[in-house]
Amino acid sequence: MHNTSMDCIFCKIIARKIPSDIVYEDDDVLAILDIAPINPGHTLVIPKRHVRDLLDVSPEAAAKVISVAQRIAPALLKVTGAPAFNCSINNGPASGQVVMHLHVHVIPRHPSDGLISWVHGKYEPGESAALAQRIVAAMAVMPKV
């Protein structure tokens, strides 16, 4: 078992203290069906080492989680008959993250399911260029990944 948090529900699932429906497991990653699925087949891909979110995980561990999501997605499409899927990571409570342990949602989608829609905004003239420059400047002073 890797680094865990005693009060984390995912760490308890990984330790088999809470039952789950496992669809994939290796030394570093566990994938389970979400107990409150957006659509049937909604799967959570979880690193076994406790990390809070995408900002807390090593690039190597993140790559393993994404690799497992890539492996699971076509199986979900085949089994559920869904023509598409969403793959998402919520980071922090304001984004909808409820369990503070990194997890990737792989959600089968159907054209008529009416779920997860985006409301697109619009930049004022010059606003996106200024914002892009500020992001580049902020990244220049951060440690490289």
Residue 19's domain is classified under what CATH number? 3.30.428.10
Global pTM reads 0.88
Asked if residue 135 belongs to a domain, the reply is no
Q: What is the pLDDT of residue 16?
A: 96
Asked if residue 68 belongs to a domain, the reply is yes
Q: What is the pLDDT of residue 1?
A: 40
Q: What is the pLDDT of residue 117?
A: 73
Asked if residue 133 belongs to a domain, the reply is no
Asked if residue 121 belongs to a domain, the reply is no
Give the C-alpha separation, 10 to 7, whole Å: 9
User: What residues are labeled active site?
Assistant: 103
Asked if residue 64 belongs to a domain, the reply is yes
Which distant-in-sequence residues (6+ apart) come within 8 Å of 119 by Cβ? none
What's the number of domains the chain is made of?
1
Confidence band for 135, pLDDT divided at 50, 70 and 90:
very high
- At 121 the three-state DSSP class reads coil
Contact 87, 38 (CB under 8 A): no
Q: Would you list the DSSP string of 21-61?
A: -EEEE-SSEEEEE-SS-SSTT-EEEEESS---STTTS-HHH
**CA-based R_g, the chain, Å:** 17
Give the C-alpha separation, 119 to 70, whole Å: 27
Asked if residue 118 belongs to a domain, the reply is no
Q: Tell me the residue range of the domain where 18 lies.
A: 9-113
Q: Is the pLDDT reported for residue 3 higher than 80?
A: no
Q: What is the pLDDT of residue 50?
A: 97
pLDDT in tens, 42-89: 999 999 999 999 999 999 999 999 999 999 999 999 999 999 999 999
